[in-house]
Amino acid sequence: MLKLKELIIKYKVLVSNFSYLAILQAVTLLVPIITLPHLFNVLGDTTWGVVVFAQSVVLYLGILVGFGFNISATKEISLHRGNPQKVSEIVSSVLILKALLFAISMLVVVFLIYMIPFFQNYKVLFLLSMWLCFYEFIFPIWYFQGLEKMKYITLINLGSRFIFLVLIFVLIKKESDYLLVPIINGIGAIFSGLMAVIIVFKKDKVVFYIPKIETLMYYFKESLPIFLSNLSQLYIKMSKIIIGAFIGINEVAYYDVAEKITNLMKTPISLISQTVFPKVVKDKSLSFIHKILKINLVIQIFLLLLVISAAPFIVKLISGKQIPIATTALIILSFTVIPVVINNTIAVQTLLAFGFKKYFARAIIGSGIIYGILILNMYIFNVWFLNGICAAVLISEIATSFLSIYYARKYVYSKMNQL
């Protein structure tokens, strides 16, 4: 008991941040799951599939807006948190760059609406779904993570999620109400963004200004390798678009069910990662990283066994009905949690945190190429099925693990003399 108290005192900030992140992640993942049976039943498989498809396309553009700043800017804020002038420079530069990227994403979605008939048929839905990109632009999660002040993120998001939860059940009563889904989400995004901006510039007194072009280019280049690696790993979000284009809109809805459950399984990974990343950047302790890896693996193996054994029941609980194809998809996707633990610990917490951005990018890009080859084969032989897409995602995650371990052993461990 005494040792436990000593550990809590020693890692007080980490424990506090982990607690707030746990609440945030639980709410972020559980609210959509709570509303899913209602949306499935009211909107129907096809209409809900269209809504999910629109969200997937916009999330794709959200990667452009994010541009890897959630990692690179977090690292910069963590390193310079004691320098108010430098923090103001980082915040100003990142927000300006994100604003430009958000404008580009708007032009892209307008182009898609103009060029593709399916997008034209649902142009209002796609435009309203752009709240996802706006949230990525305006909400500075990287700022709060870098300062290890997760309390603010949690409280702000709790408010927006509560608004979303209430309005979904109150306002969406029939299939034609599908446009209210992105509108309600947008209200929450605007609320969260404005509250965060007030805290950054009013409470913390960060000064916004327009930096020199050289400064903007520096932060752009710092984040570019992370963006490229994220771009190559778009199969996580691209899968729904491929399913909608080549398999069917209903299957998009089924895949979404399996993915939401899998994402819930991965919650401890992201919780621990976001909590310890600033500490890893500062301390660069491989022994600490090894402890995190072991903890994550134990948790995920337990969750994997639980989900596999109860997959049909879980799918029915989440969707409100039995969906055998979604159950199979869930079983396949659930196995991705093990390589994701390795990828996060070795690629992000080791390669990236230790400054080996080039090799981090190579590991991610390599797995993206493998995914592309698998999908290309399905296209060439015209063999499209949902479980094949799920298997391609799993194989790609495993590839990331092997590549990350290879680069970490070759460059990080050899350098630190801890092989």
Distance (Å, rounded) from C-alpha 366 to C-alpha 361?
A: 8
Say if residues 376 and 319 touch (Cβ distance below 8 Å): no
Residue with tokens 């992105």: 182
Separation between Cα atoms, residue 39 and residue 47, nearest integer Å: 9
Residue 286 near residue 418 (C-beta atoms within 8 A): yes
What pLDDT, on a 0 to 100 scale, did the predictor assign at position 144? 86
3-state secondary structure of 373: helix
Concatenated DSSP letters of 206-259: PPP----HHHHHHHHHHHHHHHHHHHHTTHHHHHHHHHHHHT-HHHHHHHHHHH
Sign of torsion, CA 82 84 87 91?
A: positive
Mean pLDDT by 10 residues, the chain (419 residues): 50 67 73 85 90 87 88 87 92 95 94 89 92 89 82 77 85 92 86 87 91 93 78 68 89 91 86 76 82 92 95 89 92 95 87 82 85 92 91 93 90 66
pLDDT for res 2: 44
Q: Using CA of residue 346, residue 352, residue 356, residue 362, what is the dihedral sign?
A: positive
| pTM, 2 dp | 0.75
Q: What is the CA radius of gyration of the chain?
A: 21
- What is the pLDDT at residue 419? 42
- In angstroms, the CA 126 to CA 53 distance is 9
Cβ atoms 156, 82 nearer than 8 A: no
Cα 254 to Cα 270: distance, rounded to the nearest angstrom: 24
